[in-house]
Amino acid sequence: MPPGSSHRVVMIVDSGSNPFELGVGTELFGLRRPELGGRPWYSFTLSALGPVRMNHGFFTLTGVPSLGEVEHADTVIVSNRPDSWVRPPEPLLEAVRRAHERGARLVSFCTGAFTLAHAGLLDGRRATTHWQWARLFRETFPQVTLVPDVLYARDGQIYTAAGSAAALDLGLHLIREDHGTEVANVVSRRLVFAAHRDGGQRQFVVRPVPEVPDQSLAEVLTWARARLDEPLTVAALAGRAAVSQATLHRRFQAELGTTPLAWLTAQRVDLARSLIERGESRLDVVARRCGLGSPSNLRAHFHRRTGLTPSAYRDRFGPGRDDPPASRAG
C-alpha cells in the first residue's frame, strides 16, 4: 500500500476481460499523482481466480493476487465479460456478495454489470450496461431496472458504467465524489479527457463530429462558460450561435446528448463546486457568481446533481479537507 493511502480499490479481472477497462482502472486509481502535491491517493491492486487470458488472447496475466484481496477492498471494480450469458464462477460471485454485505462500493465497467446481476446485487435497482447487450440483460435479469441509454448509473453504493469510454467517465465521477471537482479536473487534464460528462448523457449521439466545422457548438459553449454569472438563457445561446432555439436544441442533442438548459445548469453547478472548494462559504455569493440566483435555487440544483447540500460539500471538499477518503468498509 503506498504511503498515505487508505482507500483500497481492487479490480477483479476475469478471462476475456478487455485491456482497455483494465487500463482505465489502473490509470485512474493505480498511478501515483505527483501533480496533486502529495495528496493521499488510492491503494490499487488487481484480483483474479488465477492466470487471466485477456480478450482475443492478446496477452495473459500471471501472478495476479487472489480473490482474497476483495475481502479488504473499500471499492471493488468488476471488469467486462465477453461471454455475458455465462454465469461467472461461484467463488467470484461470493467474493462480490461479501464485499457488498460489509458496505464496500461496487463498480462495474461495461458488461461487468452482468456479474453484479448474476450475484443478485442488482435486483430492484437501477443499472446500465453497453447498449449492444441491453436486450440480453433485460431478458436475463427482468428484476433489474435497466437504464439502457446513459453513460453510467448509481443506485446506493452500486455504480454501473456503459461501454469502454464510459468507464473513464464513471471513474472520474468517483474521484470527484472522493476528492472534489478540482482534483478530478487535474486528473482529467492529465488524461487529456473531458473533465465531466454527466452520467445521464446518452451512450452515443447522432452526430459526434459535426459534418460542417462552423456548425460546431464549441464557440458558443466557450462563450457561455465565461458568462455563467450572467442571466444566460436558451434564447441567448441561440442568438450567439445565430440559429433558432429549435435548431440549437437539435444541435445540443446531436453533439452533446443533452438539452441547452440541462447543459447550462450542469456548468453552473460545476462552477459552484469549484468556488466552494476554493473557500467561498457565502452561499449568496456562490449563487450569484455561478448564475443560479438565490441560495435556495443553488441548494436545490446542487443537491439534485451531487446528492449533497452546499454546506455538506464544503465540509467534505472545502479548504483544509485534504484527509484521505474515508473507508467505506464496515
Q: Find the length of the chain.
A: 330
Q: Residue 213 — pLDDT band, cuts 50, 70, 90?
A: very low
Taking the mean position of all CA atoms in its chain, how far away is CA 218? 23
Can you tell me the distance from the alpha carbon of 36 to that of 216, in angstroms, rounded to the nearest whole number?
34
Taking the mean position of all CA atoms in its chain, how far away is CA 31? 18
Write out pLDDT tens, residues 295-311: 999 999 998 888 889 99
Taking the mean position of all CA atoms in its chain, how far away is CA 126? 15
Write out pLDDT tens, residues 229-284: 998 999 999 999 999 999 999 888 877 778 899 999 989 998 998 899 888 889 99
Q: What is the pLDDT of residue 54?
A: 83
Contact 10, 75 (CB under 8 A): yes
CA distances from 13 to 87, 108, 112, 189 (A): 15, 11, 10, 27
Question: Which residue type is seen at 153?
Answer: A
Contact 170, 77 (CB under 8 A): no
Question: Which residue type is seen at 204?
Answer: F
Task: Provide, rounded to the nearest whole percent, the portion of the chain with pLDDT above 90.
Answer: 47
Q: What is the pLDDT of residue 185?
A: 84
Q: Residue 330 — pLDDT band, cuts 50, 70, 90?
A: very low
Can you tell me the distance from the alpha carbon of 129 to that of 2, in angstroms, rounded to the nearest whole number?
32
Q: Answer yes or no: pTM beyond 0.85.
A: no
